[in-house]
A and B are shown apart, each in its own frame.
Chain A
C-alpha cells in the first residue's frame, strides 16, 4: 500500500516512551497505517486542523487539555472520527464519560499490542465488510479461516439454548465466554456444541485477554475432549459412570482436571505446562528453564533450536550480567534482555539456581512476556525445586 493511501492514526500521549512504543510496534503487515504523534491535547487539535485523521488514540491524563476534552473537541470538529481512550488510572466515571461522548472504547494501560491493533482495525474498517448467512460449515472451519486470514473479529455461537462468544485478535483466539464460563473453559464448551448458528461481528469494546494458547493447540485439545466426551457418553449409555471413572477423561468441559488430563496424555509435566504460558504468547517461539551452570532443565522450543546449546551460551550471558551487577554493587538481577535484529531474548532469574530464557520474534509483546514472568516465576521455582 502506498504511504499516501494509508489511513492516519494520531497518537496523543505526554509519555514519550508510550508514543515511541506505539509508533514502533503498531504498524505491521496486517495494519498498514500512517502514524502521527502529539505530546499534548493542544498539539493534537492543531494537527487536526491541518490534517484529515481517521483515528485518534489518546491518553486521558496529560498537561493542558485532558484526553476526554480532546475527545469532545475532536468529535465536534470531525463527527465521524473514531477515538480510542487509554489510561493507567481507570475508573467507572471516566469510562462512562468516554463512552457518553462518543469514544470508541476505553483501554487500560498496560495493554496487549495485538488487541490494540485489533481494535484499530475494527475502527478503521467498520462498514466495509460483508454481512449475511453461510450454512454447511463447521465451527472449526470458521475458526481456521479466521486464523489463516489473521482476522480480528468475534463469533457468536448459539446451540441448544446455549450461547457462547469467541474473540479473535489477528487470527488468535484471545477470549471466550459461555454462560458463567470464560477463557479456555468457555472455548472447550463452545467447541463441543453440536450444530447451531454462528454470527460474526465486531465487538464494541476490547475484551480482556484470557486465552493465550495457540489456536492449533486449542483445536487439538478441543477435538480430543469432544472425542473423549463421546466415548464417555457411549460408556454411560452402556451402563458406566459419568464421573470419569467409566472411561472418559475427567472434566471434559475444559477445567483444570481436563488440563491435567491433556498434560498426562501428551507426557507434558507441570513445568512444561508452565513454559507454555510463554510460548502461548504470540511471537514467542522458545521458552527454556536453564540451571545457572548452563544445563537445560526443561524447554519448549521451535523446531531447529538447539536448546542444550542455547542454555550453555545463555548461562554465560546471564552469569556475565550478574557478575557485572555484583561488580557495580547493583544488587540482585531481576531481568535482562538482548535485542537482536530479528527479535529479543529475555533472561530472568528463577530462584537461586536457574533462569528463564525466552526467545521471541521482533513483533512479540514484551510487556506481556514481562507480566507472565512476574506472574509465574515463583510457581516455576517451586515446580523445578530450584
Chain B
C-alpha cells in the first residue's frame, strides 16, 4: 500500500505528548518508576472494563471476531492460531510510533533503558505473566499488563482465564521472546517465532482448572 506521507507529517499532538511524557517520566524519576506508573495506569484502565462470562471457548472466539470481547476492545482483533495461541497483527501503539518517527525520525532517548527495565523479573510482571523478554518498547508496559488485567475479568464456562505473553515484535522487526512464559505455558518457541513472522504480538490463553 502506498504510504500517505502528507497525512503522516501532520503531528498528532496527543501522540507526541504521550511519547514525550514517557521520556520526561524516565528523566525525572528513573526508568523503574516510569515503568511502574505506566503499568499502574494500564491496570487502572483495565479495572474499569466490565466482567463477562462466555459459555465456551468458541463463544469467546466469536466475541473476538465481532470485537465485543473486552480483549479485542482494548487492542483489536487477535487471531487464534490453534492450541490457544493468539497472534495480534497490529500493535495498538503502531500509529503513534509511525506518526512520531515520521516527523522526529526516531523515538525519544531513554526508551531502551525503559524496555530493559520492563523485561527484568518483578512482582508485577510475574503477577500478570508479562515482560521477561517480551517487551520490545515502553508501550509494551502499557499494552501487555492491560490485556492480562482485562483477561482477569473474563471467565469461560465460569472458569478464570489467564494470559501468558509469549513474544512481541518491534516496528524494526526485532523479536522479543518471554522464555519464562513460553516454558510455563508449554508452547513451543518455534511456534511463537512463526506467529511473530506475521504478527506483532503473540500470547497464550489458559483456561484455569
> Is B198 an interface residue, CB under 8 A from the partner?
no
Taking a contact as CB atoms under 8 Å apart, the answer to whether A294 and B37 are in contact is yes
Chain B residues numbered 7-56 whose CB sits less than 8 Å from any CB in chain A: 27-30, 32-37, 39-40
Task: Flag if A297 contacts B123 (CB, 8 Å).
Answer: yes
**Structural contact, A312 and B36, CB atoms closer than 8 A:** yes
Instruction: Kindly report which residue of chain B lies nearest to residue A320, judged by CB atoms.
Output: B29
Chain A residues in 8 Å Cβ range of B37: 294, 312, 316
Q: Is the CB of B29 within 8 A of A319?
A: yes
A320-B28, A323-B27, A323-B28 in contact; A292/B123 too (CB < 8 A)? no
* Interface range, B side: 10 to 19
Q: How many A-B contacts if CB must be within 8 Å? A: 56
B124 at the interface (CB under 8 A from A): yes
Find out whether the CB atom of B123 lies under 8 angstroms from the CB atom of A294: no
Tell whether B68 is near chain A: CB-to-CB under 8 Å.
no
Q: Determine the chain A residues whose CB is within 8 A of the CB of B40 once the complex forms.
A: 294, 312
Interface presence of B120 (CB below 8 A):
yes
Known: A294-B36, A312-B36. A323 touches B30 (CB 8 A): yes
Q: Which residues of A contact B30 (CB under 8 A)?
A: 292, 319, 322-323
Against B, the Cβ 8 Å flags (1 = close, 0 = not) of A319-349 are 1101100000000000000000000000000
A291 within 8 A of B: yes
Contact residue among B34, B120, B124 (Cβ-Cβ distance under 8 Å from A353): B120
Q: Which residues of chain A are within 8 angstroms of B117 by Cβ–Cβ distance?
A: 293
**Does A295 interact with chain B (Cβ within 8 Å)?**
yes
Judging by beta carbons under 8 Å apart, are B32 and A315 in contact?
yes
Q: In the complex, which of the residues A295, A316, A322 contacts B123, with contact meaning CB atoms closer than 8 Å?
A: A295
In contact, B28 and A291 (Cβ under 8 angstroms) = no
Q: Chain B residues near A323 (CB, 8 Å)? A: 27-30
Contacts of A168 in B (CB 8 A): none
Contacts of B28 in A (CB 8 A): 319-320, 323
Task: Report the minimal beta-carbon distance from B130 to chain A, rounded to whole angstroms.
Answer: 13
Partner of B122, one of A291, A312, A315, A319: A291
Q: Which B residues are CB-close (under 8 A) to A291?
A: 32, 36, 122-124
1/0 contact string of B107-132 vs chain A (CB within 8 Å) = 00000000001001011100000000
Query: Is residue A188 contacting chain B, with contact meaning CB distance below 8 A?
Result: no
CB-CB under 8 A for A316 and B29, given A293-B36, A294-B36: yes
Contact B124 A293 (CB under 8 A): yes
- For residue A312, give the distance in angstroms from its CB to the closest CB of chain B: 6
Residues of B within 8 A of A316 (CB): 29, 33, 37
Cβ-based interface call for A106 (8 A): no
- Encode contact with B along A195-230: 1 for CB under 8 Å, 0 otherwise: 000000000000000000000000000000000000
Q: Determine whether the beta carbon of A315 is less than 8 Å from that of B120.
A: no
Per-residue CB contact flags for chain A residues 218-261 toward chain B (1 = under 8 Å, else 0) read 00000000000000000000000000000000000000000000
Complex Cα distance, B117 from A315, in Å, reads 14
Please state if A293 and B27 are interface contacts (CB–CB under 8 Å). Answer: no
Q: Which residues of B contact A167 (CB under 8 A)?
A: none
Give chain B nearest CB distance to A296 CB in angstroms: 8
Quick check: is A278 within 8 A (CB to CB) of the other chain? Answer: no
Chain A residues near B120 (CB, 8 Å)? Answer: 353
**Is A294's CB under 8 angstroms from B122's CB?**
no
A residues less than 8 Å from B32 (CB atoms): 291-293, 315, 319, 353
The answer to the question of A187 belonging to the interface, with a C-beta cut-off of 8 Å to chain B, is no
Which residues in window 293-309 of A have CB below 8 A to B? 293-297
Chain B residues, Cβ within 8 Å of A318 = 33
Docked-complex contact B29 and A295, CB < 8 angstroms: no
Q: Chain B nearest CB: distance from A269 CB in Å? A: 14
* Cross-chain contact of B35 among A293, A296, A297, A322 (Cβ < 8 A): A293
A218 CB, min distance to chain B CBs, angstroms = 32
Is B29 in contact with A353, judged by CB distance below 8 angstroms?
Answer: no
Task: Decide: A292 near B124, CB < 8 A? Known: A312-B40, A320-B28.
Answer: no
| Alpha-carbon separation in the docked complex, A297 to B36 (Å) | 13
Partner of B124, one of A295, A319, A320, A322: A295
Chain A residues near B123 (CB-CB < 8 A): 291, 295-297
Q: Determine the distance from Cα of A320 to Cα of B30 in the docked complex, in whole angstroms.
A: 7
Write the chain B residue with the least CB distance to A317. B29
In the assembled complex, the CB of B124 is this many whole angstroms from the nearest CB of chain A, namely 5
Query: Among residues 148 to 184 in chain A, which have CB atoms less than 8 Å away from a CB atom of chain B?
Result: none
With the chains together, A257 CA to B28 CA distance in Å?
46
A161 to chain B, nearest CB (A): 53
The 8 Å CB contact of B33, one of A294, A296, A297, A353, is A294
- A and B contact pairs by CB, cutoff 8 A, 8 listed: A291-B36, A293-B32, A312-B40, A315-B29, A315-B33, A315-B36, A320-B33, A353-B120
* Interfacial residues, chain A to chain B (CB-CB below 8 A): 291-297, 312, 315-316, 318-320, 322-323, 353
> B residues engaging A (CB < 8 A)?
27-30, 32-37, 39-40, 117, 120, 122-124
Q: 7 closest A-B pairs (Cβ-Cβ)?
A: A293-B36, A319-B33, A319-B29, A292-B32, A294-B36, A319-B30, A295-B124
If A294-B40, A315-B32, A318-B33 are given as contacts, then 4 extra A-B residue pairs at C-beta distance below 8 Å, sorted by A number, are A293-B35, A295-B39, A320-B28, A323-B27
